[in-house]
Structure 1
Amino acid sequence: MTHPDIFWFLPSSGDTRYLGTNDYGRTPTIPYLQEIAVRADRLGYDGLLIPTAAQCLDPWVVASSLIGITRNIKVLVALRTAIMTAPASARQAATLDQALEGRLLLNVVVGGDAAELAADGVHHGHDNRYAAADEFLTVWRRVLSGEEVSHDGRFTRVTQARNVHAPVQRPHPPLYFGGSSPAAHDLAAKHVDAYLTWGEPPEAVERKIGDVRARAEAEGRTVRFGIRFHAIVRETEAEAWAAADRLIAQVSDDDIARAMAAFSKMDSEGQRRMTALHGGRRDRLEIAPNIWAGVGLVRGGAGTALVGDPHTVRKRMQDYQDLGIDTFVLSGYPHLEEAQRFAELMFPLLGKAQVTETGTSRTGGANDGRR
């Protein structure tokens, strides 16, 4: 069994034990996010995903707050092609990669909620956003490779753009990206290093991987693959499903109706696919063995979870690895405690060091992520 990379998630829009309308929540303060990051780093997670949205703290500032307090973990930061300029973004990336000593990864974000994009001054339609991202990434990659770039395109116009201070990782920090439309698959094939899919059933993921791989081969390139899931792992199957039920115990029908109305206004193909998995119905949440869509009843974006005991969840993860997945980007509510729980229960099955409840090696000594 090969050992995948395991990333965790920083909840920069807030954290909770219960989805939906409730009185419980944790404010996304920098100290709290730092606590999660330090815990994940010490436990031996391979990376951290820092999300982006109007309700999130700025991902670049959050990433900068981790420079002096993390040692090994990689940091996956949003690269917003629609609201940044390519040369300025290239300088930011080179600088942050230096500060993190070569631990920066970049998550290319092209779209999202149309209303949110409009609020940020972005009014391109779906396919035009991808055409603009193509130009952006063409310039961005060339600038970071050391070229002086002049480009006169539909969406990007720069004259003699260059980056003086190179990143640690050459020619640039790795690019990750997720998108389900044909335009998104074309962009992935042409530009990115790793394609991320949200957690759909294996047969759907297999089709997406096959399509992206074929398009990349036509470009003379290869692409790695990862998947984004929540994780609800407990010592027994019954405990895991009870925890899943508890997570949405306070979700009301009105909560679901509001979320479904909001999702219907988005032009994201990925969000459409996530919503179609459950259709807003509580009786359609196990969409494949041990794959649960309950999070997606009220949460946009990644809406599915791996649910079960450790050995069962490991088997489900292997199902995706067999399709070509080598990276799992995971999360759990609340993220601090669930990072610890997942490591305790799953790391021994994933080829990582075993940890105790205090994050120390079972053979003695701190498990600070050195492998």
Structure 2
Amino acid sequence: MTAPPRFLLTLPTTGPDADPAPLPEFLTDTRRGRYGAFDAIGEVGRAAEVVGFDGVVAPFAPDAEEPLVVVAGLLRRNRWIHGVAGLHPGIGTPVYSAKLSASLQRFTGDRFGWWPVVDLPPATARAHGDFLEGPDRYARADEFLTIAKGVWEHEDFTYEGRFFQVLAGGFQGPLAGRRFPAVHLSGVSADALELSAKHADVHVFDASDDLDALIADLGGRAAERGRTVASALRLTVAAREDEDEARAVQNVPEHALTGSFEQVAAELRGYADRGVSTFVLEPPPDVAEIYRLGEQLLPLFVREHAHVD
């Protein structure tokens, strides 16, 4: 029997849903500042751990909370769950990003992961001070990951590239010896797949992608380098006791995976049979939704998967 897939939960860090207003009914201390935006995100992260999600994802977005801050806070609040933070390779140096991550790995028991966002919309990239365009973005990301891994694994690492240079860098003392953050990447271009084949642990696709062809393409590119890369799928999901109830959920996009718990589990199992080993789920941003998925969907899927294998 093959192992059941991993389930990651997308955190509600974007837009008004990240600002909890009005105050929740259970809150007895109503003094100003006692319950803020991070507390709402923290409740979602705690619920994800309690019900059995493998990890949470804080996406990189122009109108979102800073992913590194969010994930660091959640991992310190929880004991088991993993956290994946979106980051932009053009904003910080690879050495400093690796150093931040080494400390996070020390403080959280190696539960931290990266999701470098390489090909941002031009307006978003420029608003963040990044004017690089085209294939150069992937070349820079390649250098970023090469250097980050180099200083992580070696005490005396030197690299001279087009975008970054390091002379005799490397981690020693308390920063050495930790597990490098699991690298998640995405994209469907040849450049994106080649970057993942070289560096990714997990490549995240969307439901609208040509999944079978892309998984095969990525697998071939990785095999040429003597590597394997896990395939993941990002899905908006709304699951209820029956299909009609699920379709009545408000604010769920038309393309979302919607249906009864059994129907959604069957769809996920179909994707797993096609080579998907990780699901990045984005339910409506409500703690109750997380408990529904964890208590009703995830156990059903694991049971179905075990039965067919």
What range describes the TM-score normalised by the shorter chain of this pair? 0.7 to 0.9
Distance 1:167 1:341, change over 3 A: farther
In 1, Cα distance between equivalents of 2:38 and 2:77 = 12
Q: CA deviation at 1:64?
A: 2.1
Residue 346 of structure 1 aligns with which residue?
297
**Residues 1:14 and 2:15 aligned together:** yes
With structure 2 as the length reference, what TM-score do the two structures score? 0.87
Match of 1:91 in 2: 99
Q: In the aligned structure 2, how far is the partner of 1:79 from the partner of 1:91?
A: 14
Whether 1:247 aligns to 2:251 is yes
Q: 1:91 to 1:319 in 2, by over 3 A?
A: same
Corresponding residue number in structure 1 for 2:225: 219
Question: Once the 2 structures are TM-superposed, how far is the Cα of residue 11 of structure 1 from its aligned partner?
Answer: 1.2
Alignment partner of 1:174 is 2:175: no
- Name the Cα RMSD after superposition: 2.4
Shift of 1:168: 6.1
1:66 aligns with 2:70: no
In structure 2, give the amino acid aligned to 1:40. A
TM superposition shift of 1:308: 0.8
Q: 230, 240, 248: which is aligned to 1:234?
A: 240
Kept in 1, the 8 Å contact 2:75–2:81? The answer is no
Residue of structure 2 in register with 1:268 after alignment: none
Could you say which residue in structure 1 is the equivalent of 2:31?
A: none
Pairs within 5 Å for 1:1-371: 2-14=3-15, 16=17, 29-164=37-172, 165-166=174-175, 169-170=178-179, 172-200=180-208, 204-243=210-249, 246-247=250-251, 294=254, 304-351=255-302
Distance 2:36 2:77 in 1: 18
- Deviations along 1:313-355, one digit per CA (max 9) or x if unpaired, are 1111011101111111111112322111111220221338xxx
Q: Tell me, which stretches of 5 or more residues in structure 1 are unaligned?
A: 17-22, 249-292, 295-303, 353-371
Superposed CA deviations along residues 189-241 of structure 1, whole A, max 9, x for unmatched, are 0111111112226xx11111111111111112111111111111011112122
- Aligned CA distance change for structure 1 residues 128 and 98 (closer, same or farther; 3 Å): same
Query: 1:38: how far off?
Result: 1.0
Which fold has the larger relative contact order, with Cα–Cα distance below 8 Å and residues 6 or more apart in sequence? 1
Contact 1:14 1:28 in 2 (8 A): no
Find the aligned partners of 1:342 and 1:86 in 2 and give their Cα distance.
36
Structure-2 change in CA distance of 1:67 and 1:342 (3 Å):
closer
Q: Percent identity?
A: 31
Matched residue of 1:68: which SS? helix
Q: Deviations over 1:17-54 (max 9, x none)?
A: xxxxxx99x99811111111111111111000011122
Unmatched runs of 5 consecutive residues or more in structure 2 = 25-34, 304-309
Aligned length: 289
Residue type of the partner of 2:144? F
CA deviation profile, 1:87-116 (whole Å, cap 9, x unmatched): 111101111111111111111211212111
- 8 A Cα contact 2:98 2:148, kept in partner: yes
**Corresponding residue number in structure 2 for 1:266:** none
Question: How much does 1:146 deviate?
Answer: 2.5
Kept in 2, the 8 Å contact 1:90–1:163? The answer is no
> For residues 111 and 200 of structure 1, what CA distance do their matches in structure 2 show?
18
Distance 1:196 1:247, change over 3 A: same
Which letter maps to 1:227?
L
Alpha-carbon deviations, 1:235-266, whole Å to 9, x = none?
Answer: 111212222xx326xxxxxxxxxxxxxxxxxx
Residue type of the partner of 1:181? S
TM-score by length of 1: 0.73
